[in-house]
Amino acid sequence: MLWRRLRAHRLAGAGFRRQHPIGPYIVDFCAPRKKVVIELDGEPHTAQKEYDSARSDYLAGLGFTVIRFWNHEVVEDIEAVLKKIREIIGADNNFDSA
């Protein structure tokens, strides 16, 4: 659902990649030029907070901003999720193509 809105520069012209490798990790979505990583978390992530924290610290050490959303946030209010992503990537416009 989120990938449809991010792929092909659809969100404010930012180039996102899906399942992108960075060091020892594969991130859900990455906009390399913007240095932004988006991670979607589901139920398994409630039990792996230390791993997720170490992963986020590693990515931050490389200069990435890591944004985490719960799966239900994407399903229940994707517009709020997209707004938050736009704010972080510094989008000057709301140009999105669905």
Q: How confident is the model over 24-59, as pLDDT tens digits?
A: 999 999 999 999 999 998 876 566 788 889 999 999
Q: What is the pLDDT of residue 88?
A: 93
Say if residues 96 and 85 touch (Cβ distance below 8 Å). Answer: no
Phi, psi of 26 (to 5 degrees): -120, 115
Q: Across the chain, what does the average pLDDT equal? A: 88
Mean pLDDT of 3-10: 93
Both tokens of residue 79?
């517009």
Q: Domain-by-domain residue ranges, the chain?
A: 2-89
State what percent of residues in the chain have pLDDT above 70: 88
CB atoms closer than 10 angstroms to residue 2: 22
DSSP 58-77: HHHHTT-EEEEEEHHHHHH-
Architecture of domain 2-89: 3-Layer(aba) Sandwich (3.40)
Between 52 and 2, name the one with better pLDDT.
2
User: Tokens 């990583």 belong to which residue?
Assistant: 37
